[in-house]
Amino acid sequence: MAVKDRRKRPRVPSINGSEHAVAPDVAVAFLKNTMPFRELDDDALRDLALHCKIDFFPKGTRLLTYNESEITHLFLVQRGGVRAFITDDDGEIVLKDYRGVGSNIGALGIIRETKANLNIETIEDTFCYLIPRDIFKELVRNESAISHFYLKSFSDNVVATAYTELRKNKLTRRSTEELLLFNTKAAELSKPLFSVSATTSIQECGVIMARQGIGSLLVYVDEDPGSMIGIITDTDFRTKVIAEGRDTREPVSSIMSSPLKTVPADMLCFDVLLKMMTTSIHHLGVEQSGRVTGVITSHDIMVQQGNSPYYLFKEIAAQSEFEGLYLLSEKISGLVRNIINEGAKAGDIARMIALINERIIAQILILLHRQLGPAPVRYSWLMFGSEGRIEQTFKTDQDNGIVYEEPNPDQRAEVEKYFGVFGEQATYHLLKCGYPSCPDNVMVSNPEWCQSITGWKEQFGKWIEQDES
């Protein structure tokens, strides 16, 4: 293909003034793990890598604007994430999708030679590889693996139908990819195992990860290479090595996360995803017959799924304003429709809704602490009814309370005042997120349901002794 003529490499214009050339080996390592480019042979990959640049886009950057932006490059998300959406005539977002590491942006417009068909905006600080439009079009023409992937995924009929339904406000959110959350097992998506001894130096581990183009290494004890005791990821290198200025001659055991969290090889990807959401862990070992046989990452699942509860979960956790939570909570029903169409069972839906609702509650509490200051004593948030049983269907009414540590006599008034305001504010923000008030007033804003440990003991005593006849 023509990209092999290195003397005729086109100049890549600046996207936001910060694009940089990237070492071909680094680009090749990324492309080898990204569909559909991993289907190319080594020579084609290396020639393509010579044309790649990398650019940084801060959170909130508009990469493309619907029906306005000329698409000069194919964007490949190297780190971070974006949202893709269209607005209706009233300016409301009526279609929304989330794309993470390995996702591509702009392919459809380049293939059809049209302007951007979606608004694309970063939801966190994001790095993207940039492939010039002409180079990408040449790949589509000359490489069957590339053309088959994109022309199948982005057929004109699917897009035209989606837009027609969208403008009629009858669109059901669907991915253009086959969703496999409920019929794919962890073993089917797990990557080959790469491991090192716990005494291996940090520097050696970095070299291995760079050469292999991988984002993690499992760690075993010297005496038993089959016994995995921990894991290191590229995040560990950034946060524990570079940020802390560690000596790279130290053993990798000094920065590994231990113990290694695992999932059974036959666990469905939906359950793996829920575990990742619950634990905030993005790399899990895959265990079969008592041995770790591979690694599965959140990216592996995202590549298969497209639209995902995982990205909504991440965006909720990233919110710094209450108003952002109000808007995101409106997306839960669309997400539920997606997984119902995929074949989710009632129990799966209830667990996912519970996790997302818990994330919304947790973020509200985090923002309240920033606003009101830290709690004067330790406390626990209580969930009753369907919330407590993890049986929620969409947004049931609020059933919650608080139990807090017994305060000293001289701080009792301060503590009661703090939790009084805290409870009222929490109830208000949950209401704004679409969770109705409890008709029986079983809510944290009611002092009866927001008490010290002693107060709760006394309350239970009254309930137990009370004659309800």
pLDDT category at 389 given cuts 50, 70, 90 is confident
- What average pLDDT does this structure show over 455-462? 92
- What average pLDDT does this structure show over 336-357? 73
Instruction: Please tell me the predicted confidence (pLDDT) of residue 227.
Output: 83
Rounded to the nearest integer, the mean pLDDT of the chain is 81
Give the long-range contacts of residues 27-35, CB within 8 A, separation 24 or more.
Answer: 27/52, 27/129, 28/213, 29/210, 29/212, 29/213, 30/76, 30/78, 30/129, 30/213, 32/213, 33/102, 33/213, 34/76, 34/102, 35/102, 35/149, 35/303
pLDDT category at 391 given cuts 50, 70, 90 is low
Q: 355-371 pLDDT, tens per residue?
A: 888 889 999 999 999 99
Instruction: Please tell me the predicted confidence (pLDDT) of residue 182.
Output: 67
Given a cut of 60, whether residue 324 has pLDDT beyond it is yes
Domains in the chain, CATH or no CATH each? 2-167 (2.60.120.10), 186-304 (3.10.580.10), 375-465 (no CATH)
What share of the chain has pLDDT > 90, as a percent?
Answer: 34
Q: 135-147 pLDDT, tens per residue?
A: 998 898 888 778 8
Cis peptide before 132 (omega within 30 of 0): no
Q: 213-253 pLDDT, tens per residue?
A: 888 899 998 777 778 999 999 888 888 888 888 899 999 99
- What average pLDDT does this structure show over 428-451? 92
| Single pTM value for the model | 0.47
Q: Which residues of 284-303 are buried (b: 16+ CB within 10 A; e: fewer)?
A: bbbbeeeebbbbbbbbbbbb
